Amino acid sequence: MQNISKLLLGTLFVLALPACNRDAEPNQAPATAAPEPADIVVAPSLVPAAAGITTLDTQQLSTITTTKAPCQLDFVAKQAVAAQPAKLTVGQKAVFQGWIGNPGLQPPDAFAIVLDGAQSYAFRGTAGADRPDVAKVLKADGMAKSGYNVEVKLDGVEPGEYGVSFIQDTSSGTIRCLTPAKVVLSAS
């Protein structure tokens, strides 16, 4: 009987060895492995990576979440935009001035000013100019450097009337901030 027990125990041991080494295969990933970074799909940013005018896909722009993140366009080419549209010409260099923040009341790393019309155009901007007035009104110290002065040459933009909005990337995706500002662009 003792020999039969040894034989059964030895058989079980031999059968169990391959199971112990199953996860040690060098080329075999565990069944619950996280996806490789190349397998993760991230939506492309609509914020242009470089200076200059970029044409935006109006359909893609319409899918961006509109938020109440704080943003304001104060002047375009030294024209206040609160009461009436700023008047510009195709090819003109213009400075867009105002302030912008993200939902956490901090200036974004980068953003785009968007001209919304029959066609949409965007150009890259960065914040960093002093705006202590904004920080005081919003009671948010993080907004003290939320100002921007973005210069752009309006080449390749079709004449017409445009609304102005802002887009920025956040950890949860691209968001959009609308403004009441308008720009009227005429042919040169």
Structure tokens at 156: 């390749």
Q: Which domains does the chain have, with CATH numbers?
A: 2-39 (no CATH), 54-186 (2.60.40.10)
CB atoms within 10 A of CB 69: 19
pTM (whole model) above 0.95 = no
| Residue 2 pLDDT greater than 80, yes or no | no
* Spatial separation of the C-alpha atoms in residues 77 and 68, rounded to whole Å: 26
Contacts of 90 (CB under 8 A, 6+ apart): 154, 155, 157, 158, 159, 185, 186, 187, 188
One-letter amino acid for residue 6 of the chain: K
Q: Which of 47-51, 72-76, 79-83 has the lowest mean pLDDT?
A: 47-51
Output the pLDDT for position 170: 86
Output the pLDDT for position 151: 94
* Spatial separation of the C-alpha atoms in residues 135 and 139, rounded to whole Å: 6
Please give the mean pLDDT across all residues of the chain.
79
